Structure 1
């Protein structure tokens, strides 16, 4: 299949990607359809995300694996 093939002949899955507040996606990361990136999560550059990422988690690699956790900032009012 090439990029020039008509869209109706492609086997492309379409779905939502939800990116919660304070989340960050690094350069050239790939996020598959129907994925939820939790609040404050970080997706490393070049990672391939195949499943939901919990809040305040750092993921890297192909496929994306949990590397660590971030601490949720405390509000000082």
Structure 2
């Protein structure tokens, strides 16, 4: 199996200065699982996923907690 390099449309992007709230709105509004983060030169600086946003909000589960804890606290 090979990776399809041309998925038919350009990748959705944000820049590092984009507020998390704005990136989250883009993810939800365009039904995306992730956006590519581009630096000032248009090079890939990273990938922001919906999971990253949930974890950053402090409202979702955190994998760094012990299994007995039900939710992520600010300590993780």
Pairwise TM-score range, normalised by the shorter structure:
under 0.3
Q: Give 1 or 2: higher helix fraction.
A: 2
- Report the TM-score when normalising by structure 1: 0.24
